[in-house]
Amino acid sequence: MKQSNRGFTLLELIISLSVIVLLVTVALPNFQGIMQRNRVTTKLNEILTAMNLARSEAITGGVVAGACPSLDGVNCDDNRWDVGWIVWVDENANSAFDANEVARVNNLAAAGSDGQLQVFAQNNIRNGISFSPLGVPIQGASFLLLRERDLGVNVHIHVSPAGRLESHCFPRAASCKQF
């Protein structure tokens, strides 16, 4: 009667573990870069969506609407776009944000933002951006800057005088292709 051995030999186990360690060593740094680029892309898309929503609300409602940075999801804060924002619709026609006019809240502080991704605003939209009923920004042309510390990549969101939103990656490099 033949006796079959089940399992691996010591040599097979060592070779298998060596191959796994080699693959993990090569793949892990690339995976971290992918995760960082995805984080920038996600934040970029969230901000573009919020601004497009504000512009759309202004056009369809025939009122002033906007987006402003917010830490608590209730009040606009000064230049804190990296922790969250509010999209608002000016229902009482005073051309300013009031606490009861919140249309949508994105609170990144509650989601545990890790501080690696920073968002900076140009002076004229530091406290927010608002669109007229024609869909043009009331403040004129402006931009936001997203900066990922570890990647060294900056993504600019430009709001043209006509209200068009565009994003550009700086510096132009291979790591910028995804944005």
Q: Tens digit of pLDDT for each residue in 17-35?
A: 999 998 888 877 777 777 7
Q: Tally the C-alpha atoms within 13 A of residue 105's C-alpha that lie toward its C-beta.
A: 16
- Is the pLDDT reported for residue 96 higher than 80? no
The residue with tokens 């406290």 is 127
| Residue type at 35 in one-letter notation | M
What is the CB neighbour count within 10 angstroms for residue 179? Answer: 18
Q: What is the pLDDT of residue 58?
A: 92
The neighbouring-strand residues paired with 170 are 154
Task: Give the pLDDT band (50/70/90) at residue 44.
Answer: confident
Distance CA 162, CA 142 (A): 11
Pick from 17-26, 95-104, 128-137: least confident: 95-104
Which CATH class for the 10-176 domain? alpha beta
Name the pTM for this structure.
Answer: 0.73
* Per-chain mean pLDDT for the chain: 77
What is the CB neighbour count within 10 angstroms for residue 2? Answer: 3
Strand order of the sheet with strand 84-89?
102-107, 84-89, 65-69, 129-131
- Is the pLDDT reported for residue 84 higher than 50? yes
